[in-house]
Amino acid sequence: MDKAATSFYKNIGIVTLNNPETKNSIDIYLLENLTRSIKKLETNEQADLIWLRSGIKDVFSSGYDIGYFDKKNEAECRYFAKAGAELVETIKGCKKIIICTVDGAALGGGFEIVLSCDLIFATERSQFGFPEVNYGVLPGFGGTQLLSRKIYETFTKYLIFTGNTVPASELSDKGIINKITKSQSSNEEEAYAMADIIKHRSKFALGLAKETVNNGLNMPLKQALLYEQNAFMASFASNDKKEGMTAFKEKRTPDFTDRWEDFETL
């Protein structure tokens, strides 16, 4: 069974975590499967954006597969951590927008995957946390860094130090979750509505904006502002800019053709 199945719906590339026996627990096979799926969709012209979801009711991912770890030596565990970091970097660096929907638990490595996505939708009953400290370890591929870059470090430390879970409402209040819904069906409806909006925008401008935001977080403000200026000028010289301006004047929907994946990064 494919633990990360890929499908398409109206130019949306969908990656579905689907390992009900372990509630989508994270092992090396799932990590590598997810990374391959994202990379393939990034270069697939049929996918205007990517949607990451769970095919299991009540859970996105239960976190690291403890049984898997218990049988591995140090070298194998390091390989696992590197594979997790590669997945996070693949999602963050993907030139397409990645939406994630969560219904239920997103713990440990599952929470790290969620945090690496661009837009997050969750149901009211969803719970998030880093329980690793309960097992004598810490988040292994981004948990200590991803959350603190989205919000202040004290909340990151609270989650990691206690191993507690928090409801979706608390993450929404802190600006980490974009939208909370009552049910899984309404959650996916909201995500699709957002995807439908995004897929009609300039792919070039979207990818450039994503890269500018992500890379700017690692720069001093002065350097980040210069980076943004260069990105703005790159968008200003694009065919999509010309089409967008012309469509605005002609009061019609623009037909964007530039794709960010066809261009080199700044």
Catalytic residue numbers, as ranges: 112, 132
DSSP 26: B
Q: Determine whether 128 is exposed, middle or buried from the number of CB atoms within 10 Å of its CB (0-12, 13-18, 19+).
A: buried
- Judged by DSSP in three states, 65 sits in coil
Residues 129 and 110: their CA atoms lie apart, in Å, by 9
- Token match 């700044």: residue? 266
CB atoms within 10 A of CB 167: 15
98-102 and 49-54 as β-strands: parallel, antiparallel, unpaired?
parallel
Long-range interactions of 194-197: CB distance < 8 A, separation 24+: 194/99, 194/119, 194/121, 195/12, 195/49, 195/51, 195/99, 196/10
